[in-house]
Amino acid sequence: MHPSRKKVSKTQVHWGVWILLLVCFLGFALFRMITIAPYIHDNPYTSKQADVLAFFSYNESVHSDPIQGCWYDSGDYIIFAPRDALAAWYLSLAYAESTDTHTRQDLLDVLQSPLACLDQMMQSGYKQFRDQQSHGIQLSPVLHEQEFPQTAYQLGAQEGRDTALLLALTYENLGERDKASIYRQFAQEHATQTYSERCCEEGNLAFSDNRLYALERLNGVNEHEYEGLWGAQPIAIAALVEQEFAKIAGVLTYVQENFTSSGQPFDYVGGNYDIAGTIVLERLYAKKTGDQQFAPLSKHLYAYLLGYNDYGTDFTNIKPHHACTFFRACDLETALVNGVDDRKVVSPMDKPWQVTEVQTYGQAIFVLTRVLLSEYPID
């Protein structure tokens, strides 16, 4: 042995390995903390609806977009203004129906940042951030911005009518009539709905003509006829506002006669959200007419969502297909997921987003459902 070379003991090797492992662990922990820190926080809401409102806090965008604070559309990182506006409208309806002070304050807090974001998007002419080419939701936003294109899309010359109509209704429900008036004027000056760009799995996102007509009628802009009354879609809310109670009763009768524990006649896309929306429709119908004949239907539908179904699945207690759940930065298990897909399968491995995705507007409908069941309970 060379006289200057010291023998390394097994103890020294042992400690060296442990120190190396500790350094690696601390490095990984630090890296994880830095990259997902924006997602890690406690539920900021405290009202009786806090559990279902938590989703909106975790779903608020933390990307470095030209305008920040909107909601991701669903299980990915795409932001599309009309869908955010639709969710905001449903939450504003919940605010208008609630008499609980804490719930109303939580709803205002939920809406504050996204509405500011939508206002700025409309003023700056943006309609969408990111597309299907930036679908790496297994990465946290900080890393996602380094790996994927962050394309921002502008409104077309006549686009934005749908978003403006929804924001007008939202601000009206919140008591901000001046802002509502501004958006109604915008809607008068823009002729078409907004079309998504390079999006999404289920196809291009755009409001149907019927949905647009319903929003116009709710705003008193036009008197188009519309069809397709269903769930808590704008068409159904318009029928309630216009006191077309026979139409509402007809829809509720149809669901009552045809609903099964497998979820029929509701299908994907968004079947669970239409089920929750039907509860909304029934509770508002009962409030306006005093007719409680469909209350057992709402009780049955709500039980279905909570697990009394052929699948034995509580659709509010599933790990959802959402970016922040992939790296365990949030707990969204009180959110309502899509439900069974169009093949009536609960857990397909090929397209999990069809089953366990949380769509932002759908969760807003579920919040409205919860508020109405609290305000107008079923005996």
The predicted-structure confidence for 261-292, as pLDDT tens digits, reads as follows 988 888 766 789 999 999 999 999 999 999 99
* Residue 184 confidence (pLDDT) above 60: yes
Structure confidence at residue 341 (pLDDT): 65
Of 294, 269, 286, 312, the closest CA to residue 376 belongs to 286
Higher pLDDT, 362 or 76: 362
* Residue 1 confidence (pLDDT) above 60: no
Q: Where are the beta strands (DSSP E) in 88-201?
A: 126-129, 152-154
Structure confidence at residue 351 (pLDDT): 61
Higher pLDDT, 17 or 78: 78
Of 266, 226, 227, 257, the closest CA to residue 362 belongs to 266
* Residue 29 confidence (pLDDT) above 80: no
Tokens, residue 343: 């093949």
**d(C-alpha 210, C-alpha 212), whole Å:** 5
Q: Quick one: pLDDT band at residue 357, thresholds 50, 70, 90?
A: confident
Predicted TM-score of the model (pTM): 0.91
* Residue 54 confidence (pLDDT) above 90: yes
Strand order in the sheet with 152-154: 79-80, 126-129, 152-154
Preceding peptide of 265 cis, ω within 30°: yes
As to burial, measured by CB atoms within 10 angstroms (0-12 exposed, 13-18 middle, 19+ buried), residue 9 is: exposed
Point out the least confidently predicted range of 37-46, 248-257, 351-360: 351-360
**d(C-alpha 363, C-alpha 262), whole Å:** 21
What are the pLDDT digits (tens) for 192-242?
999 999 887 666 788 888 888 889 989 987 776 666 788 999 999 999 999
Tokens, residue 5: 């070379």
Query: Is 374 within 8 Å of 284 (Cβ atoms)?
Result: no
The helix, strand and coil proportions of the chain, stated in percent and rounded to the nearest 5, come to: 55, 5, 45
Q: Quick one: pLDDT band at residue 318, thresholds 50, 70, 90?
A: confident
Instruction: For residue 152, give the amino acid letter.
Output: A
Alpha carbon separation from 275 to 30, 229, 329 (Å, rounded): 43, 13, 29
Higher pLDDT, 333 or 47: 47
3-state secondary structure of 235: helix
* Residue 63 confidence (pLDDT) above 80: yes
Query: Is 53 within 8 Å of 106 (Cβ atoms)?
Result: yes
Point out the least confidently predicted range of 62-66, 83-87, 342-346: 342-346
3-state secondary structure of 152: strand
* Residue 6 confidence (pLDDT) above 60: no
Tokens, residue 32: 């994880």
Point out the least confidently predicted range of 21-30, 109-118, 123-132: 21-30
Higher pLDDT, 10 or 339: 339
* Residue 8 confidence (pLDDT) above 60: no
Mean pLDDT confidence for 181-200 = 93
Structure confidence at residue 95 (pLDDT): 98
* Residue 187 confidence (pLDDT) above 60: yes
Q: Quick one: pLDDT band at residue 354, thresholds 50, 70, 90?
A: low
Mean pLDDT confidence for 168-197 = 96
Higher pLDDT, 257 or 204: 257
Handedness of CA 238, 205, 65, 322 (dihedral sign): positive
* Residue 338 confidence (pLDDT) above 90: no
* Residue 21 confidence (pLDDT) above 90: no
Beta bridge partners of 71: 60
Query: Is 175 within 8 Å of 93 (Cβ atoms)?
Result: no
Higher pLDDT, 267 or 58: 58
**d(C-alpha 38, C-alpha 186), whole Å:** 34
Of 252, 246, 254, the closest CA to residue 277 belongs to 252
Higher pLDDT, 162 or 332: 162
In 10 A of CB 251, how many CB atoms? 19
Average pLDDT, the chain: 89
* Residue 99 confidence (pLDDT) above 90: yes
Handedness of CA 167, 169, 171, 176 (dihedral sign): positive
